[in-house]
């Protein structure tokens, strides 16, 4: 296996932005496949923290790693989100689930600007190792991680994310699928808790 190299070597990518520059909405999603057709799998440890360690592994058809690239600096930019206020519609469900400033249940993941127990910018993500406080918060946590992945990675990309449950595997899905699933799960959980 080749040594881990900086992302600029990955797929002829352009040099990275400084980690202090927030991600712009036009920044491209990371690919699921290399130019030669081999699959790229990603591993994210410490997502949502200043100490994030991110690696892209190019794997052959047998699933063996051909080469690996350090993309940690890129993740530092992406996890920050965009330095702007939330737009209309981005905080639509705050009325139902709360947010960072209105959090009577003490949740860590519920609301547009609450992720991993901290206040975030639009498009950002909090510490993925922060546990959910209840079943509804667990739905919000899964949605936050899946939605963030869908913004930053191409569909069908395989990504492992370190959470409080260890390394969890995700396959990136379209945002509309993620949102529909989360709403259905949340309504079911609310209905179940109201019947008790």
**179: part of which helix (H) or strand (E)?**
helix 175-194
The 3-state DSSP class for residue 99 equals coil
Mean pLDDT over all residues of the chain? 84
Q: How does residue 102 score in pLDDT terms, banded at 50, 70 and 90? A: confident
- pLDDT digits 0-9 by tens, 106-156: 899 988 899 999 999 999 999 999 999 999 899 999 999 999 999 999 999
34 vs 19: CA distance, rounded Å: 24
| pLDDT reading at 15 higher than 80 | no
**How many structural domains does the chain have?**
1
The boundaries of the domain holding residue 170 are: 5-194
pTM of structure: 0.82
Burial (Cβ within 10 Å: 0-12, 13-18, ≥19) of residue 86? middle
Query: Residue 187 pLDDT > 50, yes or no?
Result: yes
Task: Identify the band that residue 25 occupies on the pLDDT scale cut at 50, 70 and 90.
Answer: very low
């Amino acid at each position: 296996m080749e040594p881990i190299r900086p992302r600029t070597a990955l797929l002829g990518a352009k040099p990275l932005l400084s980690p202090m520059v927030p991600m712009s909405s036009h920044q491209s999603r990371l690919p699921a496949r290399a130019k030669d057709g081999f699959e790229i799998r990603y591993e994210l440890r410490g997502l949502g923290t200043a100490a994030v360690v991110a690696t892209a592994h190019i794997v052959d058809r047998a699933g063996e790693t051909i080469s690996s690239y350090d993309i940690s600096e890129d993740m530092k930019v992406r996890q920050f989100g965009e330095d702007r206020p939330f737009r209309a519609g981005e905080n639509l469900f705050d009325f139902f689930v709360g947010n960072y400033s209105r959090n009577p249940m003490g949740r860590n993941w519920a609301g547009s600007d609450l992720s991993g127990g901290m206040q975030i910018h639009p498009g950002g993500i909090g510490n993925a190792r922060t546990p959910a406080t209840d079943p509804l918060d667990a739905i919000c946590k899964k949605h936050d991680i899946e939605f963030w992945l869908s913004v930053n990675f191409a569909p069908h990309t395989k990504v492992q994310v370190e959470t409080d449950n260890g390394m969890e595997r995700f396959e990136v899905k379209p945002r509309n699928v993620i949102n529909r699933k989360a709403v259905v799960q949340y309504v079911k959980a609310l209905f179940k808790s109201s019947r008790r």
